[in-house]
Amino acid sequence: MKERNVGRSGLKVSVLGLGCNNLGGRLDRVASTRVVHAALDLGVTLFDTADVYAMGNRGGSEILLGEALGERRKEIVVATKFGLPMDDERKQRGGSRRYIMNAVEASLARLKTDWIDLYQIHVPDPETPIEETLRALDDLVSQGKVRYIGCSNFRAWQMVDANLKARQANLTPFVSCQNEYSLVVRDVDRELSDAMLAYGVGFLPYFPLASGLLSGKYRRNAALPQGARLTISPRMTDRFLNESNYELVEKLQDFCDGRGRTLLELAFSWLLARPFVSSVIAGASNPEQLGQNAKAVEWVLTTEDLAEIDRITDAGSLRQTIG
């Protein structure tokens, strides 16, 4: 599988990353191990998790990922996150030095590793100055416990502000941003995309299939697929399954049909055609699905294709999914 640098850093990752949110939640230990090993065999080198993953079992994803990797941990890039609440009282969270120093030790223990390749703050912490967060993360880099740092769900101004302050104080900067981005949700194009290119920050989009809307499983006036994310989550159903999105998907499906391709291939290949994207993070429930994802990243879109996709998705108005 092809690899790319994360922004202008020296960190290289596979163009397809495995999102590990399902590990320890929807997938038990055996199923999780099968998916991780299948990803390794396909050449996936980026495994993205977080301390709060998985569903109803905080820390479960890191534990199962560490167990599944075993001796092959040295071959890959482990990316994890901190900052979201790790307790029901919402006291164990945030970007303070005190919390970060505890959180990283807990993640290292769960992952059964001595270092984290990419350590990301999961969401901005308005209660902690970003300088404090950056100094704590810089210390972890100096100690060898973390190799690179990144941010997730930051707005453009927050990423720029953080990296400017890191530069001014000679601290380790963020090398990556991880936000939602897809053919359906293109908010990143408003400002963050240009900011990342200017600052040499790589992008790791999550929800590349718009929570499954771009998988090809959802059709207007058809029954929803059983057990799928948009079927079982009312909040996500209300957000994505509306007439304007059905219309968009139908137009994209026509585009794919005319080229003998699938919506899945289009969703992944379009993201990888964006100049700021380093790797596409996608979850998988089984090795077969992972194999489909790996095949989907092989399509190289032409300049004409990209222009047509912009027209279909109405890129000029940066289409929203809410409302």
**Position of tokens 């996500």?**
236
Closest CA to 222 of 230, 264, 258: 230
Cβ atoms < 10 Å from Cβ of 72? 11
User: How many whole angstroms separate alpha carbon 206 and alpha carbon 211?
Assistant: 9
Distances (CA, A) of 35 to 71, 101, 208, 291: 16, 31, 19, 10
For residue 191, give the DSSP letter. Answer: T
Contact present, 307 and 50 (Cβ < 8 Å)? no
Closest CA to 309 of 242, 219, 249: 249
Q: What are phi and psi of 214, to 5 degrees?
A: -95, 15
Catalytic residue among 53, 148, 181, 206: 53
Strand partners, 116: 146
DSSP letter string, 235-303: HHHHHH-SHHHHHHHHHHHHHHHTTT--HHHHHHHHHHHSTTB--EEE--SSHHHHHHHHHHTT----H
99 is catalytic: no
Tell me the two tokens of residue 11: 């960190």
Q: What are phi and psi of 178, to 5 degrees?
A: -130, 110
Contacts of 7 (CB under 8 A, 6+ apart): 175, 176, 196, 199, 200, 201, 202, 203, 276, 278
Q: Which helix (H) or strand (E) covers residue 16, if one does?
A: strand 16-19
**Residues acting as catalytic residues:** 53
